[in-house]
Structure 1
Amino acid sequence: MGKEIKGIKGFKFAARAAGIKKPGKLYLALIYSEVPARCAGVFTANKVVAAPVVVTAPRIKGGTCQAVLVNSGNANACTGEQGLKDALRCGELAARVLGVSEDVVAVSSTGVIGAPLPMERLEKHVPLLAGMLEAGGAKGVAEAIMTTDSFAKLSDSRGSDYSILGLAKGAGMIHPDMATMLGFALTDARVEEKFLGEALRRCVDRSFNSITVDGDTSTNDMVLLLANGMAGGPEICGGTAAAEDFEKRLGAVLLDLAKMIVRDGEGATKLVTIQIRGAASAVQARQAARSVATSSLVKTAFFGEDANWGRIIAAVGYSGADVDPDRVDIRFGDVPVARQGLGTGKELEEQATRVLQQAEFTVTVDLNLGDGEAAYYTSDLTYDYIKINADYRT
């Protein structure tokens, strides 16, 4: 994985400050494909849906996208009929200057809920993005979509004759109910439309739907995948070896971005993989992993570097998965802290504490009931999370 593939064909990027919130910060971005791209999307599960999602979801369902306009600093959520008009107007501005149909322009927003978009600024700055488009500008887009993020998130992969580039933002309101952030994946491969959507959904389930920071799901979240075919290779169709390789590469890019989001979780100091093994089924393994990963008691124990395995077995117990407490084994890293539901003693717990002092580690829970496995990715819950969100709007 690298930070950016400059050779991804047919995609250009632009970013501007636009003065939406703090002076000087990039707040407005444009992703443009030189030709119409096949597309797929996954959107927020929140029943309170922001205007840009209302506009973009049906456009993506149409199967073609050529441009993505994104702003940070303002979510354009809970803004009523005017918010919907503003989202449509932003798409119209981008479409006009790019010379494309509004139907192939996706709009996306992130930031404070309940405030109207500063349309006077957007009317001025959106048209200026077209003249700034450049092939090597993806990092600027990744910076422009940040809110409380501390670093820009990009990942890439190169196949035999195509490239995949992913960009994402997210640090708070992160929870495994897709989507939980903004993510944009771009490829110059030619990909069969049906397989494109199926691959995205499967990869999202294993990445963005397998992370948690704080248990909140935003009103604006979306992940879009655009494939413009400009690498010139043969079409990638479902059920082939080429499709398997493409999905593997896409999954690796999205998981890399997902882990960056958890690592950058608001106030977080640790990235923790929760690995469930031996569950009665994969579905039950996922239930158990999610329960442990989202437990506030477990997450605060990680912050306190307390090898409190009792909180973990309790979270597994109320997850809804089948559990026999007398068969549960728990490890922190390679250190066993519980065997057959019983603690392994003070000496091993002290060793486990040293594992928790690391910035990244894995907690493995083996239920010893079957072959089901699943992994979730979580962060610790810290004092700084409260500080960041207590004054988010100021």
Structure 2
Amino acid sequence: MSSIREMKLSSKNIVSPKGFKAAGIHCGIKHKKKDLAILYSEVPASVAGVFTTNKVQAAPIKVTKEVVYETKKMQAVIVNSGNANACTGKQGLLDAYEMQQLAAEKLGIDPKLVGVSSTGVIGELMKMDCIREGVKKIELGNSLENGIDFAQAILTTDTVMKNTTYSTQIDGKEVIISGTAKGSGMIEPNMATMLAFITTDANIESDVLQKALSEITDVTFNCITVDGDTSTNDMVLVLANGLAGNNPLTPEHPDWNNFYKTLKMVAEDLSKAIARDGEGATKLIEVEVDGAVSDEEARKIAKTVVGSPLVKTAVFGCDANWGRIICAVGYSGATVDPEKIIIKIGDKKMVENGEPIPFDEDELIKILKANEIKIYVSLGLGDGHGIAWGCDLTYDYVQINASYRS
């Protein structure tokens, strides 16, 4: 088993792995900001995808699922923001297929190798004239600026871009894994209004990549929550084009752990960036749970606590109200013994064996004023461990979502 350390690369982005190009432009779906993007691999790539569990699914989800599950290779993704193309009936599906065709013609590739992704307002037909003209004029490249343009073009109410890149060693060759995501509201995976695109030049078959992504999603993208709403459009896609030249990766490969750990780090970075940028948010909240009867139950409790509106508002108001935390633990549906619960905020223990212990209110207020808040819960029942991420609930969240369509 290799012990090579993963290295985070600054000033790198979605086009940094070998053979990837991207672009993002303004085509007219939004008033001013970039709203159309294309990601492209010079060769067909192995692909894996995870999609929203909302039973109401947007047209682009159907189109992209066909590529992921039937073609099992992907060479490009066309993405727009400003319009979700969701709940748009037969015309919406025709428009999604046309977007696929337009991108394929632009790039000179088979339409069955093109994924489609949309995010924005639900229930409005796509401005296809804007898409057609945009695809004509978009020009792809592999510069840092091209990657930034792509990252900007997929945003909606996000306040910042979400990019991360790591490198690792496989068969003595450098393998790069990069990710770009968007997501700010309606974030309650499995999954939510979040899009994540991950590129790598690793050599790995689609079925193996799919299994890895599904496992990693359970402990990253599916462990974030902003507001408890699940969207109609969300997807995570990983494209692996093999141009690093390593031997095919499988769990039996001696450097498998290097790849798996690095992919997980990319997914975790993007997940935390989405939670940190929740609409109107001022703080990232991390809830760690151990001592649960299973990892699944630990994650369930962590997500319940971080998703509690009362916990979120207490964090916003710098109120060390541990009663809201233990309440959320209790109604999570997981196995708990109230007499064994330990709760900490930061490094300050507030509850031990289910009973309050004295704490300095001023010290807790200082902890809660930080940009990142850590809540720790121990159940004393088993070896289960889980982490979830979310954000505080602020006045601005209400204002943003009260006027979203306007």
Q: TM-score, normalised on structure 1?
A: 0.97
1:369 and 2:381 equivalent? Answer: yes
When residues 7 and 279 of structure 1 are mapped into structure 2, their CA distance, relative to the original with a 3 A threshold, is closer
Are residue 8 (structure 1) and residue 21 (structure 2) matched? no
Aligned length: 391
How far the C-alpha of 1:193 sits from its partner, in A, is 2.4
Letter in 2 for 1:74: N
Deviates more, 1:229-238 or 1:1-10: 1-10
Aligned to 2:268: 255
Match status 1:167 vs 2:183: no
Aligned to 2:214: 201
Q: Give the CA deviation at 1:133.
A: 3.2
SS of equivalent to 1:91: helix
Amino acid at match of 1:106: G
Q: Which residue of 1 aligns with 2:124?
A: 115
Q: Does the C-alpha gap of structure 1 residues 230 and 331 become closer, same or farther in structure 2, counting only changes over 3 Å?
A: same
Assess if the C-alpha contact under 8 Å between 2:184 and 2:193 holds in 1: no
AA partner of residue 376 (structure 2): T
- Choose the corresponding residue for 2:325, options 304, 312, 326: 312
2:3 match: none
Return the match for 1:146 from 155, 160, 179: 155
Give the match for residue 294 of structure 1. Answer: 307
Match of 2:76 among 59, 67, 73: 67
Aligned equivalent of 1:95, options 87, 101, 104:
104
Give the distance between the partners of 1:329 and 1:7, measured in 2 at CA: 44
Whole-angstrom CA distance in 2 between matches of 1:291 and 1:76: 31
Given residue 77 of structure 1, which amino acid in structure 2 is its aligned partner? A
Conserved in 2, the CA contact under 8 Å of 1:39 and 1:226?
yes
Cα distance in 1 for residues equivalent to 2:16 and 2:76: 18
1:319-356 per-residue CA deviation (whole Å, 9 max, x = no partner) reads 111111111110011101111111112x4343222211
Give unmatched runs, 5+ long, in structure 2: 1-7
Is the partner of 1:162 in helix, strand or coil? strand
Residue 351 of structure 1, aligned match among 354, 363, 375: 363
Shift of 1:169: 0.2
> How many Å apart are 1:7 and its aligned residue?
4.1
Name the CA shift for 1:20/1:180 in 2 (closer, same or farther; >3 Å).
Answer: closer
Give the match for residue 141 of structure 2: 133
1:43 is displaced (CA, Å) by: 0.5
The answer to whether the 8 Å contact 1:94/1:127 transfers is no
Identity of aligned residues (%): 49
C-alpha displacement of 1:134: 3.3
- Aligned partners of 1:241, 1:217: CA distance in 2, in Å? 38
Alignment partner of 2:395 out of 380, 383, 388: 383
Moved over 4 A (4+): none
Conserved 8 A contact 1:337-1:352: no
Distance in 2 (alpha carbons) for counterparts of 1:3 and 1:380: 29
Q: CA offset at residue 179 of structure 1? A: 5.0
User: How far does residue 180 in structure 1 lie from its aligned partner after superposition?
Assistant: 4.5
For 1:364 and 1:334, how far apart are their aligned partners in 2?
Answer: 9
Is the 1:280–1:370 contact (alpha carbons within 8 Å) kept by the matching residues of 2? yes
> The residue matched to 1:241 in structure 2 has which SS?
coil
CA distance in 2, matches of 1:97, 1:291: 45
Please state whether the residue corresponding to 2:142 is helix, strand or coil: coil
Corresponding residue number in structure 2 for 1:269? 282
Structure 1 equivalent of residue 88 of structure 2 = 79
Q: What one-letter code is carried by the residue in structure 2 that aligns with 1:30?
A: I
Work out the CA distance in 1 between the residues paired with 2:11 and 2:219. 21
**What amino acid is the match of 2:303?**
R
Q: State the Cα distance separating 1:58 from its structure 2 match.
A: 1.3
